[in-house]
Chains A and B, each alone.
Chain A
Amino acid sequence: MEASQFKSDQYVRFCPGCGDHAICMAIQKAMAQIGIEPHQVAVISGIGCSSRMPHYLNTYGFNTIHGRGGAVATGVKTSHPELTVWQMSGDGDCFAIGGNHFIHEIRRNVDLNVCVFNNRIYGLTKGQYSPTSAKGFVSKSSPFGTIERPFVPGQLVLGAGGTFFARTLDVDMPTTVDCLVAAQQHKGCSIVECLVNCVIFNNGTHAWIADREQRAEHSIILKHGEKMIFGKNNDKGLAVEIDPHTFVPKMIVVSADDPRVLTHDATQQDPTLHRLLALMGQDRFVEVQKDGAPEANDALPVALGVIRNVEAESYDEAVNKQIADVREHAKAHCFDELTATLESWEM
């Protein structure tokens, strides 16, 4: 199938230069690569810039209300497990107003493909800080800098018992498409954090890794079964060091030929290492780096690609299986048979 088959006739209204354009194209490409017919696909969104996405896809779509895309998507998938269901959301829609639905769709492991467009700002309401804005971030609603600690989405997903987490970047089309395809192939709740630039209200928020010159040094693209190697010259590797006194493990950068370099296993059920990977290089995204303050720990690269991808029964599968099991052994299968089981008398 071609990506053009998934394009709707609607004019794309993201701002010129917005990172959402790239993700939109990546979604169309991924859907074509996956090869499921457009009428078997439902794309559900809440409210926000990212939630406009269903309008630009030639599938079934439902642009609902703020924060509730996850709950609506859960209803679609649970009632009709044969459909492929995507959810489009942003850092405000998913982590603030829709936070409850977000953690519960993950906890239940509903078979959804969730793209969270993280630009660390409220764009559609014209520039307020979001749950992923770094502490100290100055915005219209935080003129003196925020005093809140942000979420690191990967940590939130793992904390909720997530079975799939990937992180990708608007300017890295191949990795984005790979992550989206892997999300669809994973059975269960797949969260893809798409780091996107808001050219109007938060320009350059991901410049640390998006900048072409620095990207190779500041990020690593994790691939299942491959060694964790990065750097402009592929000369660096990642290893784990355990503190002998506290037993706290931490990631360290070593030489690429060091025997301690880890091989990525996204399918490991234990989330300890996945959490360490998701937290790498987050200092500057968690707290605004001030002049004169100690240097952020930037030695570790930001992990991109599929960080976690484990198997578990999905909610929609389990509940439909339970219904089938009960029906197989039930005495009554229709209303008249049901009423026949009542204690009743003729009058």
Chain B
Amino acid sequence: MQLTGNLFSSLSAILGYEISTLPDFPAEIRAPQGTIGGVSGFQVQLGSGVYTPGDKADVIVAMNAAALKVSAMNKHYHDHAIIIVDTDSLTDKDLEKALYKTDNPFTELAIPESVQIVPVALTTLTKEALKDSGLDNKSMLKSRNMFALGLICWLFDEPMDEAIHLLEDKFKKKPALIEPNTKVMVDGYNYGQNLALSVNQIRLEANDNPKVQGRYTSIAGNKATAWGLIAAAEKAGKHLFLGSYPITPATDILHELAGRKDMNVMAVQAEDEIAGVCTAIGAAFAGDLACTSTSGPGLSLKSEAIGLAVMAELPLVVIDVQRGGPSTGLPTKTEQTDLMQALYGRNGECPAVVLAASSSANCFDFAYEACKIALENMTPVILLTDTYLANGTALWRIPEMAELPEIKPQSVPEELKGHYNPALRDERGVRYWAFPGMEGYEHRNIGLERDAEKGTISTNPANHEQMVLARKHKIEQIADRIPELKVIKANSQQPITDSTLLVGWGSTEGHLHAAANEIGCDLAQFNYINPLPKNTREVLSRYKRIVVCELNTGQFAAYLRAQFPELPIEQYNEVMGQPFAVERIVNFVKSVKR
């Protein structure tokens, strides 16, 4: 199902639609098929002005009885939606597996009359299409999804030749699969045409006026993150080193970088999460652009070592692809629950820079920015993304190296040769970077407290406080080098209120933007969390009502209240392992009167 979804999304993007996708699958590798827990879904919204994968679907393709039930239970579709359902997968046995109580699933699920149900014998039709192919039964059944894809392409008026081209590209390593899959897909398309299926209420508008002209592709968040690191290393003139341990949903970053030896990337699959970050710290000590990628449980394990990088003042990029927690939690679902851990989850006074990407495509920009800040300020930077961004795909304008901002690593000046020590700082308070192999800069770095002048071990009380404040100041001064907070204005037919502000951070930007449009209010979406943009207080204090919306129980709201106790901060939270539903945010803001 994930393959079908990805193909349809890519096809839509090529045709000029904006896309936003939400793959949603169980944690198990082969979850029991046909059961409620085993449903794997892929949601995509296309059109123009697309901010989210959408709350409710116009078209549902239910490949079996369980999928139909899950969609109905979650009220996943509009009243006038089309539900395409595989009638071959509604046998008594299938209904039993999906725990139906009667033999009429549509009545039992109370699907409204207004919903158009399109029963298609997908399995039979696929087998019919492939009867001369020589494929065995199992392989034929696997192509069932392609029949559905063809049918959807017909519904959304997407041309077959482009789709065939994509399919050929997808199966180029297994050429034997190209012909049968193409045949099934085209048969699916023709089937839709023959039945004259149509979706009346869907009016798709291609995005023919993108903000920036250029070359576009569709990209998943994890890949965009990996490529941001690659671009930053090239710009900075550094080798890229990744130390990482496999963990859902961050592993694709490791996969991508392990495969990018052509870009001179050194990717070490470490023996554990701690070794992932520690090998990276070793590479940073030796002068590389060093990164580690993980998810929440891995960030917990890396905490002490991130503290070492804070203390040793080494550049380090830590990518936390957040998932549902705590503990093992919901490994394949999305949440924003690691914010406090990223900000404070270390022993001692241990400040690190915290950034958050807000779309699958801008994972590239913020991975790049994380590297820039780390290298220029000799500090660990934690970049927060999440399952939703990591697995979702979005339209990405491909940048050229020349247009990306300069990165100037904090290299030690020549005149310090022979006098260098690891405590020496520039006027901004950032220490200089010298590394093994450089003659005349030999030094000992430490996780122990160091003397502010000599750089050697010190237990002096006043020196410790001086160093705590020096490390704090070093992070604070970064606010001078990041963009100011810009409010996103509502693009809405609604009467605009200038007294309410929606506030969010990271991956919720699309949903909050859509909600702000519906409410008719402004939105402030944060990508820079520590330090905050310098004008944050000034911007927030313009509003009478500030609603901080996040997928946790109020971590960013608490952070803002601690910094700006005078501001009237409300909060709206969901912790269901799913992205926001725009409708619920709108209802909350409209219904709660102040």
Could you tell me which A residues sit within 8 Å of B by CB distance? 8, 10, 37-42, 44, 54-55, 58-65, 68, 71-80, 82-83, 100-101, 104, 319-320, 322-323, 326-327, 330-336, 338-339, 342-347
Q: Which of B260-268, B540-548, B553-561 contacts A (4 or more CB under 8 A)?
A: B260-268
On chain A, the residues within 8 Å of B399 by CB distance are 339
A117 to chain B, nearest CB (A): 18
10 closest Cβ pairs, A-B complex: A75-B282, A330-B262, A75-B279, A71-B278, A61-B444, A326-B261, A72-B282, A79-B283, A71-B275, A104-B271
On chain B, the residues within 8 Å of A332 by CB distance are 262-263
A63 to chain B, nearest CB (A): 5
Q: Which of B215, B227, B282 contacts A76 (CB 8 A)?
A: B282
On chain A, the residues within 8 Å of B171 by CB distance are none
Q: Are B442 and A323 in contact (CB under 8 A)?
A: no
Contact (A347, B274) CB under 8 Å given A68-B305, A326-B261, A326-B262: no
B293 to chain A, nearest CB (A): 15
Which single residue of chain A is at the shortest CB-CB distance from B239? A79
Given contacts A78-B241, A79-B282, 9 further A-B contacts (CB under 8 A): A39-B442, A60-B443, A68-B305, A74-B279, A75-B282, A323-B261, A343-B166, A344-B216, A345-B215
**Interchain CA distance A100-B245 in the complex, whole Å:** 14
Contact string against A for B residues 206-248, beta-carbon threshold 8 Å, 1 for contact and 0 otherwise: 0100100111110000000001001100100001010100000
**Interchain CA distance A197-B239 in the complex, whole Å:** 43
- Asked whether any CB of chain A lies closer than 8 Å to the CB of B14, the reply is yes
- Asked whether any CB of chain A lies closer than 8 Å to the CB of B22, the reply is no
On chain A, the residues within 8 Å of B260 by CB distance are 338
Q: Which of A75, A83, A100, A344 contacts B215 (CB 8 A)?
A: A344
Contact (A61, B282) CB under 8 Å given A80-B437, A104-B271: no
Q: Are B305 and A83 in contact (CB under 8 A)?
A: no
Q: Are A333 and B263 in contact (CB under 8 A)?
A: yes
Q: Which of A42, A60, A78, A101 contacts B268 (CB 8 A)?
A: A78
Q: Are B436 and A346 in contact (CB under 8 A)?
A: no
On chain A, the residues within 8 Å of B290 by CB distance are 75, 79
Contact string against A for B residues 415-453, beta-carbon threshold 8 Å, 1 for contact and 0 otherwise: 000000000000000000001111111111111100000
- Asked whether any CB of chain A lies closer than 8 Å to the CB of B197, the reply is no
Task: Enumerate B252-288 residues with CB–CB distance to A below 8 Å.
Answer: 260-266, 268, 270-272, 274-275, 278-288
Q: Are B285 and A327 in contact (CB under 8 A)?
A: no
Which single residue of chain A is at the shortest CB-CB distance from B214? A347
Q: Are B456 and A10 in contact (CB under 8 A)?
A: yes
Which single residue of chain B is at the shortest CB-CB distance from A37? B439
On chain B, the residues within 8 Å of A80 by CB distance are 283, 286-288, 436-437
- Asked whether any CB of chain A lies closer than 8 Å to the CB of B199, the reply is no
Q: Which of B215, B262, B279, B440 contacts A72 (CB 8 A)?
A: B279
B119 to chain A, nearest CB (A): 35
Q: Are A335 and B437 in contact (CB under 8 A)?
A: no
Contact (A342, B282) CB under 8 Å given A40-B436, A79-B241, A80-B287: no
Q: Are A334 and B268 in contact (CB under 8 A)?
A: no
Q: Which of B214, B279, B400, B447 contacts A63 (CB 8 A)?
A: B447
Q: Which of A54, A100, A320, A344 contacts B398 (CB 8 A)?
A: A344
On chain A, the residues within 8 Å of B213 by CB distance are 346-347
Contact (A76, B436) CB under 8 Å given A63-B445, A335-B231, A345-B216: yes
Could you tell me which B residues sit within 8 Å of A by CB distance? 10, 14, 16, 166, 169, 207, 210, 213-217, 227, 230-231, 234, 239, 241, 243, 260-266, 268, 270-272, 274-275, 278-288, 290, 304-305, 307-308, 312, 398-401, 435-448, 456-457
Which single residue of chain B is at the shortest CB-CB distance from A322? B261
22 A-B pairs within 8 Å (CB atoms) are namely A55-B456, A58-B442, A60-B436, A61-B445, A62-B312, A71-B274, A72-B281, A73-B282, A74-B282, A75-B290, A78-B266, A79-B286, A100-B271, A319-B268, A323-B265, A327-B261, A327-B264, A334-B401, A338-B262, A339-B400, A346-B213, A347-B214
**Interchain CA distance A75-B284 in the complex, whole Å:** 8
**Interchain CA distance A83-B435 in the complex, whole Å:** 11
Q: Are A347 and B216 in contact (CB under 8 A)?
A: yes
B28 to chain A, nearest CB (A): 27
Q: Are A63 and B446 in contact (CB under 8 A)?
A: yes
On chain A, the residues within 8 Å of B456 by CB distance are 10, 55
Q: Are A63 and B448 in contact (CB under 8 A)?
A: yes
On chain A, the residues within 8 Å of B288 by CB distance are 79-80
Q: Are A8 and B239 in contact (CB under 8 A)?
A: no
**Interchain CA distance A101-B582 in the complex, whole Å:** 47
Q: Are B442 and A75 in contact (CB under 8 A)?
A: no
Which single residue of chain B is at the shortest CB-CB distance from A47? B447
On chain B, the residues within 8 Å of A62 by CB distance are 282, 285, 312, 444-446
Q: Are B278 and A72 in contact (CB under 8 A)?
A: yes
Q: Are B275 and A104 in contact (CB under 8 A)?
A: yes
**Interchain CA distance A342-B268 in the complex, whole Å:** 25
A101 to chain B, nearest CB (A): 6
Which single residue of chain A is at the shortest CB-CB distance from B210? A347
Q: Are A345 and B279 in contact (CB under 8 A)?
A: no
A13 to chain B, nearest CB (A): 9
A71 to chain B, nearest CB (A): 3
A69 to chain B, nearest CB (A): 9
B222 to chain A, nearest CB (A): 16
Q: Are B442 and A347 in contact (CB under 8 A)?
A: no
On chain A, the residues within 8 Å of B305 by CB distance are 65, 68
**Interchain CA distance A334-B444 in the complex, whole Å:** 35
Which single residue of chain B is at the shortest CB-CB distance from A57? B444
Most buried by A among B213, B270, B275: B275
Which single residue of chain B is at the shortest CB-CB distance from A63? B446
On chain A, the residues within 8 Å of B441 by CB distance are 39
**Interchain CA distance A346-B446 in the complex, whole Å:** 51
Q: Are B261 and A75 in contact (CB under 8 A)?
A: no
Which single residue of chain A is at the shortest CB-CB distance from B276? A71
Q: Are B401 and A335 in contact (CB under 8 A)?
A: yes
Q: Are B437 and A83 in contact (CB under 8 A)?
A: yes
**Interchain CA distance A323-B258 in the complex, whole Å:** 10
B263 to chain A, nearest CB (A): 6
**Interchain CA distance A74-B457 in the complex, whole Å:** 24
Q: Are B437 and A39 in contact (CB under 8 A)?
A: yes
Which single residue of chain A is at the shortest CB-CB distance from B282? A75
Q: Are B436 and A75 in contact (CB under 8 A)?
A: no
A325 to chain B, nearest CB (A): 8
A335 to chain B, nearest CB (A): 5
On chain B, the residues within 8 Å of A10 by CB distance are 444, 456
Which single residue of chain B is at the shortest CB-CB distance from A326? B261
**Interchain CA distance A263-B275 in the complex, whole Å:** 40
Contact (A83, B266) CB under 8 Å given A54-B444, A100-B272: no
On chain B, the residues within 8 Å of A73 by CB distance are 282
**Interchain CA distance A55-B399 in the complex, whole Å:** 46
On chain A, the residues within 8 Å of B231 by CB distance are 335
Q: Are A342 and B266 in contact (CB under 8 A)?
A: no
Q: Are B282 and A334 in contact (CB under 8 A)?
A: no
**Interchain CA distance A39-B307 in the complex, whole Å:** 26
Q: Are B275 and A101 in contact (CB under 8 A)?
A: yes
On chain B, the residues within 8 Å of A345 by CB distance are 14, 215-217
Q: Are B283 and A347 in contact (CB under 8 A)?
A: no
On chain B, the residues within 8 Å of A331 by CB distance are 262
Most buried by A among B227, B263, B278: B278
Q: Are A342 and B398 in contact (CB under 8 A)?
A: yes
**Interchain CA distance A51-B16 in the complex, whole Å:** 60
**Interchain CA distance A285-B442 in the complex, whole Å:** 40
On chain B, the residues within 8 Å of A100 by CB distance are 271-272, 275
**Interchain CA distance A100-B456 in the complex, whole Å:** 30
Q: Which of A39, A76, A82 contacts B438 (CB 8 A)?
A: A39
Most buried by B among A41, A61, A73: A61
On chain A, the residues within 8 Å of B284 by CB distance are 75
B283 to chain A, nearest CB (A): 4
Which single residue of chain A is at the shortest CB-CB distance from B10? A343
On chain B, the residues within 8 Å of A82 by CB distance are 437
B590 to chain A, nearest CB (A): 36
Q: Are B400 and A336 in contact (CB under 8 A)?
A: yes
Q: Which of A68, A339, A342 contacts B278 (CB 8 A)?
A: A68
